[in-house]
Structure 1
Amino acid sequence: MIGGTHGLGRALALGARDRGLRTVVYGRSATPLPDADDLLSGADGPRPDADGLLPRSLDLCDPQSVRTASVDVPGPCYVLWVAGAFLKKALVETTEDEVEQLTRLLFSGPVLFLRRLLAETEGPVHLITIASSSSWKRRERESLYCGLKAAQATFVRNLVPELLAAHPENRITLVNPGGLAVPDFHTGLALDFGAMMDPGEVAEIVWNIAATQRRAFTEVQILRSREPGSEGTPEVSYGARVPQTPEEPAAAGGTAAPLPIQHH
Structure 2
Amino acid sequence: MSPTSPAARPLPGSFRSAAVIGGTHGLGRALALAARDRGLRTVVYGRSAAPLAEPGPDPDGLLPRALNLCDPQSVRTASVELPSPCYVLWVAGAFLKKALVETTEDEVEQLTRLLFSGPVLFLRRLLAEAEGPVHLITIASSSSWKRRERESLYCGLKAAQATFVRNLVPELLAAHPENRVTLVNPGGLAVPDFHTGLALDFGAMMDPGEVAGIVWNIAADQRRAFTEVQILRSREPGSEGTPEVSYGARAPQPPEEPATAAGEPAALPIQHH
State TM-score, norm by structure 2. Answer: 0.88
Shift of 1:31: 1.5
Q: Distance in 2 between matches of 1:263 and 1:209?
A: 48
The 8 Å contact of residues 58 and 65 in structure 1, kept in 2 or not, is answered as: yes
Distance 1:249 1:222, change over 3 A: farther
Q: Take 2:184 and 2:194, find their aligned partners in 1: how far apart are those partners?
A: 18
User: Structure 1 pair 257/19, CA: closer, same or farther in 2 (3 Å)?
Assistant: farther
TM-aligned CA deviation for residue 255 of structure 1: 2.2
Structure 2 CA distance for aligned equivalents of residues 130 and 260 of structure 1: 38
For residues 64 and 121 of structure 1, the distance between their equivalents in structure 2, rounded to whole angstroms, comes to 21
SS of the counterpart of 2:44? strand
Cα gap change, 1:216/1:263 in structure 2, threshold over 3 Å: closer, same or farther? farther
In 2, Cα distance between equivalents of 1:98 and 1:260: 34
Q: Distance in 1 between matches of 2:236 and 2:200?
A: 17
Kept after mapping to 2: 8 A contact 1:2/1:80: yes
- Quote the residue 2:47 is aligned against: 28
Aligned match for 2:257, one of 234, 244, 248: 248
Q: Structure 2: how far apart are the matches of 1:197 and 1:260?
A: 41
CA deviation profile, 1:129-167 (whole Å, cap 9, x unmatched): 000000000000000000000000000000000000000
Q: Deviations over 1:207-249 (max 9, x none)?
A: 0000010000000000000000000000000000000001248
* CA gap 1:134/1:157 in 2 versus in 1, 3 angstroms: same
How much identity, in percent, do the aligned residues show? 91
Pick which of 224-233 and 240-249 moved more: 240-249
Change (3 A) 1:218 1:258: farther
Does structure 2 conserve the Cα–Cα contact (< 8 Å) formed by 1:194 and 1:232?
A: yes
CA drift of 1:27 comes to 0.3
Provide closer, same or farther for how the CA distance between residues 101 and 229 of structure 1 changes in structure 2, counting only shifts above 3 A.
same
Name the stretch that deviates more: 224-233 or 23-32. 23-32
C-alpha deviation, 1:262, in angstroms: 32
SS in 1 for 2:21: coil
Identify if the C-alpha distance between structure 1 residues 257 and 57 changes in structure 2 by more than 3 Å, giving closer, same or farther.
farther
Shift of 1:32: 2.8
Deviations 1:43-66 (A, max 9, x none): xx7210000000000000000000
Q: Would the aligned equivalents of 1:250 and 1:257 in 2 still touch at CA under 8 Å?
A: yes
Within the candidate set 54, 61, 86, 2:63 is matched to 54
How has the CA–CA distance of structure 1 residues 186 and 117 changed in structure 2, closer, same or farther, with 3 Å as cutoff? Answer: same
Q: Does the residue aligned with 2:76 lie in a helix, a strand or coil?
A: helix
Structure 1: runs of 5 or more not aligned: 34-44
| Structure 1 contact 197–224 (Cα < 8 Å) conserved | yes
The 1:154/1:173 distance shift into structure 2, 3 A limit, reads same
RMSD between superposed Cα atoms in Å:
5.0
Tell me the secondary structure at the aligned position of residue 160 of structure 2. helix
Distance 1:261 1:157, change over 3 A: farther
2:167 alignment partner, SS class = helix
3-state DSSP of counterpart to 1:23:
strand
Distance 1:30 1:22, change over 3 A: same
Structure 1 segments (4+ residues) deviating >3 Å: 248-254, 256-264
Cα contact 1:178–1:263 (8 A) shared by 2 = no
CA distance change for structure 1 residues 81 and 119 in 2, over 3 Å: closer, same or farther? Answer: same
Paired positions, count:
253
Distance 1:110-1:195 versus aligned 2 partners, 3 A rule? same
Q: Structure 2: 5+ residue runs without aligned partners?
A: 1-19
Q: Which whole-Å CA distance do the structure 2 matches of 1:31 and 1:200 have between them?
A: 24
Provide closer, same or farther for how the CA distance between residues 58 and 203 of structure 1 changes in structure 2, counting only shifts above 3 A. Answer: same
